Structure 1
Amino acid sequence: MYEKHLTSPSEHELVLRVIPMPADCNANGDIFGGWVMSQVDLAGSVLPARIVQGRLATVAVNEFVFKHPVRVGDILSLYAQVTKVGNTSITVQVEVFAERFGAKGGHIKVTEACLTYVAIDGDGRPRPIQQNEA
């Protein structure tokens, strides 16, 4: 694997699609950033879970950028790509695009993030990622 910063969803795999609801709003009426972060964490774990075939844990949020607010009713598409596989860890780039109501198929990148996950054993300790897993 190699590291690079990605900007096109075509280079990523669609791993999650979700619609935020009014209960997910902050005091400004936009979707709460913490809700978006939780969706990114879920989406980011999909590809590493396939690789490690077992338990994993989020160990770092290396970068998280909110580019535009997320609104109630946006259709969010979360794309991910593995950028690095180490001995026990996997780094993933996640990009979030919103399809706005009335935009007739138009999409806007609302969030991008880089997260690191670690493969863990039954006791919650880091375990090596087997060469055939990566």
Structure 2
Amino acid sequence: MLDGSAAAPVIATVAPYGEVTPRGAVFGGWILAQIDHAAGLAGRKLAGGDVVIVSIKDLTFHAPLYAGEEFVMHAEETRRGNTSFNLSITAVAEPDTQVRQIMTADVLLVAVDAEGKPRKLSGA
């Protein structure tokens, strides 16, 4: 992350050339899909099982992401309740030696059982 915090990298990929606007920036919809993947991956590990996204709050795009740039997403737990928790998702572009923040979001997730019903988080 830009501030050197310990948020774990969840996804590292290359921004696709097939998902760009006429100006060369990657579509926001592709980035939203990456948020879904990152929150799901990090959320399952933190919850010890299946999770669902309830909401994406405070989503802010800070800069465009361009095709061919390395795209890295970090996730950090910021709140834990009985069945739900929040993740701070941050994404950066690392085209060369310069790191540029692309977006930040607060994602609310709920741990669910095999039937899709909320379940208690371990340690909650």
TM-score (norm 1): 0.84
Distance 1:13 1:110, change over 3 A: same
Residue 47 of structure 1: how far off its partner (Å): 2.7
Number of residue pairs the alignment of both structures matches: 124
1:61 aligns with 2:56: yes
**TM-score, normalised via structure 2 length:** 0.90
> Quick check: 1:9–1:79 contact (8 Å CA) kept in 2?
no
Equivalent residue in structure 1 for 2:45, among 46, 50, 68: 50
Which residue in 1 is equivalent to 2:117? 125
**Structure 1 position 63, deviation (Å):** 1.4
How big is the shift at 1:22? 1.4
Matched residue of 1:117: which SS?
A: strand
CA deviations on 1:60-86 (whole Å, 9 max, x unpaired) are 101110011110001011111100111
Shift of 1:9: 4.5
Contact 1:87-1:128 within 8 A present in 2 as well: yes
User: How many Å apart are 1:129 and its aligned residue?
Assistant: 0.9
Q: Is the 8 A contact 1:80 1:92 kept in 2?
A: yes
Q: Percent identity?
A: 25
Structure 2 unmatched ranges of 5 or more:
none
Deviates more, 1:73-82 or 1:40-49: 40-49
Structure 1 segment 8-47 matched on structure 2, within 5 A: 8-47=3-42
2:81 and 2:21 map into 1 onto residues whose CA distance is: 37
Q: Aligned residue for 1:88?
A: 83
Shift of 1:125: 1.2
Name the SS for the 1:10 alignment partner: coil
Amino acid at match of 2:25: D
